[in-house]
């Protein structure tokens, strides 16, 4: 059985176009294997941590942060 290093050496001998084709094929294989898992959305993070900002004035916060940059 070929090791990871053996395969890597073989890939380095391929032309750039062959390497790109291999990458595309490998990505397709991985996508198929992950196919039954639900996809995640950045929108799932909406509202996360909103309690931290409750009651804070956004402009005052920005002003304080900017003031801290100048020491």
3-state secondary structure 3-69: CHHHHHHHHHCCCHHHHHHHHHHHHHHHHHHCCCCCCCCHHHHCCCCHHHHCCCCHHHHHHHHHHHH
In a domain, 18, yes or no: yes
What pTM was estimated for this model as a whole?
A: 0.47
What is the domain range of residue 12? 1-35
In a domain, 29, yes or no: yes
- Checking if the pLDDT of 71 tops 80, the result is no
* Average pLDDT value for residue range 42-67: 92
Question: Into how many domains does the chain fold?
Answer: 1
pLDDT of amino acid 40: 83
In a domain, 66, yes or no: no
Residues 1-34 pLDDT 10s: 889 999 999 999 999 999 999 999 999 998 888 8
In a domain, 1, yes or no: yes
In a domain, 70, yes or no: no
In a domain, 2, yes or no: yes
């Amino acid at each position: 059985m070929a090791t990871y290093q053996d395969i890597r050496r073989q890939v380095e001998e391929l032309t750039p176009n062959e390497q790109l084709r291999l990458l595309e094929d490998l990505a397709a294989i991985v996508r198929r294997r992950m196919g039954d898992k639900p996809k995640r959305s950045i929108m799932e993070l909406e509202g996360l941590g909103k309690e931290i900002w409750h009651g804070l004035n956004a402009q005052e916060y920005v002003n304080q942060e900017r003031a801290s940059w100048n020491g």
